[in-house]
Structure 1
Amino acid sequence: MSDDDTMQKKMELDPNDPMDQALVWVSRIATGEADANALAEFERWRDSDARHEKALNEARRLWVMLGEPLEAQYAPVMASLPASAAQRRQARPRRRWRRPALATAAALLLAVTLGGQWQRDWRFDQTTGTGEQRTIALADGSTMWLNTGSAADVQVDGNRRHIRLARGEAYFDVAHDPQHPFTVDAGSSQVMVLGTAFGVRREGEDVVVTVQRGKVQVASADAPAVFVTADEQVRVHPGAAPHIEAVSAEQMLSWRTGRLQFENRRIGEVLDELKRYDRRLVLVSYPQAGQQRVSSIVDLARLDEWYDTLEQSLPVKVTRIGPIVWIHAS
């Protein structure tokens, strides 16, 4: 089975469970799969049982994280149905748009979309999308691995070796050059090395540096510089003293091998980490996620297989519908 086939695999749903039915309808409507006939069927299902309306409200709450109101997806199609099929829902006033107004709105939407794309990706030298990783050979012989959802500017030449990590996470295997220190600017912190291997991750205002080989200097504007050596990790938070602890660098930086390693970690923490790599919306409604712990190795190319294992080993159900993975108590 290919990676795309794995991502598209759907779990069998309970045809008698109103929540499962509601999630199917929300997915079909929000993704544009439902035509006019299907929407008429949806209206009949919705009105046939009070439990369906309640389940639909819950399904909407899950879907709202995608940023699209449900009615905005199906109301235009419902308006084209015969009155007998559409009259179950209260009529909503609709504005009439002249063609010039539509053209202006389309141009504005395009400008906003392109502006957002530029703001997020195009203005940086190197970027990765969700679930994507890239390996970049630098001009000085060093190598940079860019992890999921990351962006960086690169200035490496004969006179300067400087990286600005704008967001996300990167790993560096730095070629030794005593005359030209290698620096990584990560917002509130700056990392300086001569030749070593280390990872840098931005987590909100925090910067986390993990050293696999050699020694690095980590400096920030409001704290003294600290030195971090192999199998150590430092977390820098604005206004706080840097915190250094011993870690397994191989485990912490395993993402560049296509796998994540977790040892005695809370399930909630593991799922939060996997959300960074899954292009779908991962929702967790499992009260024990903050208490129960697991040790596991996750193949990033086979996330669904790991979700299946989780379902087999814990009292949880994993429901996949369209771009949603919902992990909840069984």
Structure 2
Amino acid sequence: MAAARPDAKVVKQAIQWMLRLRESGHDPALQQQCTQWRSARHEHEQAWQRVTHLQQDLDLRAIPGAGLALQTLETSQQRLHRRQALKLLGGVVIAGSATWLANDLDVVSAWASDYATGKGERRTLALPDGSLMQLNTHSAVDLAFSGQQRLVRLKHGELMITCHSQHSVLVQTRDALLEGFEGRFVAYQDGDCTRVSVSHGKVAIHRPGNGQQQWIESGQNWRLDAQGAHRLAHVDMDAMAWAEGLIVTQDMRLRDFLRQVSRYRHGYLSCSDDIADLRLSGVFRLEDPEQLLHLLPQTLPVRLRQRTRWWVRVESMT
């Protein structure tokens, strides 16, 4: 069963403890106080585990008011003591984070999901019927398996299903209900659409209000959106390669490539408009996205401009 939605007050307290411990530099007395708070109630420990497990996904720039605090923290011209800057950041985050986390954002979705992955994390799970599910970076799903149905609800992100049994597996996405038969397929909720790729076997597309069933055959790639289901004649990236820890591209735009890489790392990553249409073809390993970025100037006439480890922009050499 899915975990209960975390209470905003307890989440706020857990974030506050996290920031205080980070600021204190591992103060033993403060660590003991935090331990006492965690052990006082079960929901305290539950909130703490979720916050610490997913803190890498808490992009503080998305919290209202935190952008200015982070800018102050990172700008050396301000010459604020680290403790002062952290206190400023902590105040902003505590004031806005509980409400922010209470909204239907991906981080909260992960907390209230049966299974989830963080940024850069991939996970493989055996489903109750013997099928195999792989979750890509920053993804969350709920399971509803019974004698009557085998349903996976993709809440956000990307998954790969390998159907081993003679029974089909249903995957509910934002845009359609997919029914996979013996074989392997990938479903990725990308912005305003769902992308589906079938390695082998076949997948049926069931859409609300559409009595006509469509089929995705082996080797095909489709886009599902509010306008309907459309087969893609050309794709510039191997949709299955991430399961092997790879990005495999064929004549892919640099801007689109960086968008994919940003799914596996924290912070800002983009490129200037004048080089956005440069093309890449190759095999890139995902285990170290930062090293991957530093390979770009070896293959393209570009350079990296890096303000902090969290802010990288790719620009022209000229």
Is residue 312 from structure 1 mapped to residue 301 from structure 2 by the alignment?
no
Task: Give the residue type in structure 1 aligned to 2:295.
Answer: T
Aligned to 1:238: 226
> For 1:1-330, what aligned pairs fall within 5 Å after superposition?
68-69=67-68, 73=72, 109=96, 111-112=98-99, 115=102, 119-178=108-167, 181-223=168-210, 224-240=212-228, 242-245=229-232, 251-290=238-277, 292-320=278-306, 321-330=308-317
SS state at 1:251 partner: coil
After superposition, the CA RMSD in angstroms is 3.5
Q: Which has the higher contact order (CA 8 A, sep 6+)?
A: 1
Name stretches of at least 5 consecutive residues in structure 2 with no aligned partner.
1-21, 24-59, 82-89
CA deviation string 1:63-83 (max 9, x = no partner): 9889512697369x97999xx
Rate the CA distance shift 1:318–1:176 in 2: closer, same or farther, 3 A: same
Contact 1:147 1:170 in 2 (8 A): yes
- How far apart are residue 319 of structure 1 and its match? 2.8
Task: Give the residue type in structure 2 aligned to 1:227.
Answer: W
Contact 2:143 2:153 in 1 (8 A): yes
SS state at 1:304 partner: helix
Number of corresponding residues: 244
**TM superposition score normalised by structure 2:** 0.66
SS state at 1:301 partner: coil
CA deviation string 1:261-301 (max 9, x = no partner): 001111111111111112232132251212x2110111001
Segment of structure 1 superposing worse, 313-322 or 111-120 = 111-120
Inter-partner Cα distance in structure 2 for 1:170 and 1:307: 25
Task: Give the residue type in structure 2 aligned to 1:251.
Answer: D
CA deviation string 1:126-176 (max 9, x = no partner): 111111111111111111101111111012244321000011110000122
Name stretches of at least 5 consecutive residues in structure 1 with no aligned partner.
1-30, 33-62, 82-101
Inter-partner Cα distance in structure 2 for 1:247 and 1:72: 41
CA deviation string 1:72-115 (max 9, x = no partner): 7369x97999xxxxxxxxxxxxxxxxxxxx99x99765633653
Inter-partner Cα distance in structure 1 for 2:93 and 2:300: 48
Q: Whose radius of gyration is greater, 1 or 2?
A: 1
- How far apart are residue 253 of structure 1 and its match? 0.9
- How far apart are residue 247 of structure 1 and its match? 6.4
Inter-partner Cα distance in structure 2 for 1:315 and 1:148: 29
Between the aligned residues of both structures, percent identity stands at: 23
Inter-partner Cα distance in structure 1 for 2:142 and 2:290: 33
